[in-house]
Amino acid sequence: MEELKDVLKRVSGKILAVEKICIAMNFQIWTVIMAGYYVLIAPLDRVPLWLTIAYWSFGAVVFAYASKSLWRKVSMLISEGGSGKVNFGIFLSWVIAALFGWFFVPSMIGGYFLQRLAVGLLSFISTAVIGMIATIYFWAKKLEVEMVPAFLIPALAIPLVYLSKNPMDFAGMTIVLGYGTIVILYTIRAFKVA
């Protein structure tokens, strides 16, 4: 009986580790796409709007393609009673956060255009990640503590946007920092439970 308990514990640990690694990879893919943008624009004096639109459109397609199977695996592992609810909840979180961050927040605050845009970006990411945590908590009965820095770091950085000389670069790198931190946390957790 003790042997069976031990086997079951190891199996559960492996399943949990796969879940954590898949979530970490999802965030890491986005971090790489974001970092790629900053590498691309670094040598430019002025960033043309078409380049930003083209890069992020391309980035979004690459991300959707790369994370599709990863997320399917994650939602299958974390959901309780169907992954559809989890997927829909997360999709809704990003849609609401996009409206909130890109339209509502910049129209409600002061500062020049790039400052308002940077605050909007940070608000968008913070709200979306809170939505993801809430969705997983309600539909999968799991509290993704590792995900907390991904909303907390951008949220805490919002007041600092007004002190920054390059608000959008600051906002982008803050998100990279938040995502990078949770990738480390998820990886540590995966090793612990495996």
Residue 193 in the binding site for another protein (CB under 8 A): no
Q: Which amino acid makes up residue 3?
A: E
Task: Kindly state the number of chain residues that form the binding site for another protein, as judged by CB under 8 A.
Answer: 19
Shortest gap between Cβ of 4 and another protein (angstroms)?
6
Are the beta carbons of 130 and 151 closer than 8 angstroms?
yes
**What is the Cα–Cα distance from 146 to 175, expressed in whole angstroms?**
15
One DSSP character per residue, 70-110 reads HHHHHHHHH-SS-HHHHHHHHHHHHHHHHIIIIIIHHHHS-
Find the part of the chain contacting another protein (CB under 8 A) among 8-16, 38-46, 119-127, 141-149: 8-16
Shortest gap between Cβ of 73 and another protein (angstroms)?
5
Residue holding tokens 């956060």? 97
Shortest gap between Cβ of 23 and another protein (angstroms)?
14
Give the long-range contacts of residues 83-86, CB within 8 A, separation 24 or more: 85/139, 86/135, 86/136, 86/139, 86/140
Shortest gap between Cβ of 112 and another protein (angstroms)?
48
Find the part of the chain contacting another protein (CB under 8 A) among 3-11, 112-120, 121-129, 152-160: 3-11
Query: In the stretch 29-68, what mask flags binding to another protein with x, by CB under 8 A?
Result: ----------------------------------------
